[in-house]
Amino acid sequence: MLGIKKAMILAPHPDDGEFSSGGTIKKLTDAGIEVFYVAFSPCEKSVPEGFPKNILYKELNKAVVHLGIDLKNIVTYDFPVRDFDKHRQDILENMVSLKKTIDPDLVFLPNSHDNHQDHEVIHYEGARAFKHSCILGYELPWNNFSSFNNYFVKLKKTHLEAKHAALQEYSSQKLRKYNTLEFFTGLAKVRGTQVNCDYAEAFEVIRWID
């Protein structure tokens, strides 16, 4: 990723960035690229019983440390989960503000095949706000009826280990069937096989500017 100095992860919900792109994030920070993590909802309505309502943002702060992201580079909002469509303009205006203040060279957001209603909003508003940046769409297979991956990031085992360590911080999400080391290692092996390496993460090119 020559020329990339600042990257930004747009995560509709905390942990979307780690689930989709954790290994890539670690590879970027290892290379000295400054990474910003933007989460749009604490998902209070979805927090499992027995956890405090703000648990996901607390877990996010612990998770990103494993990926090399500075805590000062975390930006959080309080939009209600599953209701982003009612707040599209506010979400867009927040993104435009981030574009002005941070101006990232590279933006990661949900891919164009993600069928979660909140992810759809972040995809389209993110593409509008950051149209002058490089944009990659990340995959979350459980939300994708199909996917179009044409950009692959080769990873080392240490990148995957950092991703797993980050995901382990999300105690409230251990109930998710896909939140296992076996699943993410297997997916990384599949993506790696597609580009003749051991491990990789795959993305959809939304826009690339050299």
Q: How far is CA 30 from the centre of its chain?
A: 17
Sign of CA dihedral 159, 165, 170, 175: positive
pLDDT category at 175 given cuts 50, 70, 90 is confident
- Quote the tokens at residue 53: 């309502």
Instruction: Give the mean pLDDT of the chain.
Output: 96
Average pLDDT over residues 144-155: 94
pLDDT category at 2 given cuts 50, 70, 90 is confident
pLDDT category at 127 given cuts 50, 70, 90 is very high
Please tell me the distance from the alpha carbon of residue 143 to that of residue 118, in angstroms, as a whole number.
11
Please tell me the distance from the alpha carbon of residue 155 to that of residue 198, in angstroms, as a whole number.
8
CA proximity to 23, closest of 158, 191, 130 = 158
Fold that domain 6-207 belongs to in CATH:
Rossmann fold (3.40.50)
In this predicted structure, the answer to whether residue 179 has a pLDDT above a threshold of 90 is: no
CA proximity to 12, closest of 139, 121, 137, 145 = 121
pLDDT of residue 104: 98
Q: How many other CB atoms sit within 10 Å of the CB of residue 197?
A: 16
101-124 pLDDT, tens per residue? Answer: 999 999 999 999 999 999 999 999
Residue 135, SS3 per DSSP: strand
Classify residue 192 by its DSSP letter.
H
23-66 pLDDT, tens per residue? Answer: 999 999 999 999 999 999 999 999 999 999 999 999 999 999 99
Average pLDDT over residues 85-94: 98
pLDDT of residue 13: 97
pLDDT of residue 181: 87
Sketch the domain layout of the chain as residue ranges. 6-207
Please tell me the distance from the alpha carbon of residue 168 to that of residue 136, in angstroms, as a whole number.
25
Residues facing residue 7 across a β-bridge? 35, 106
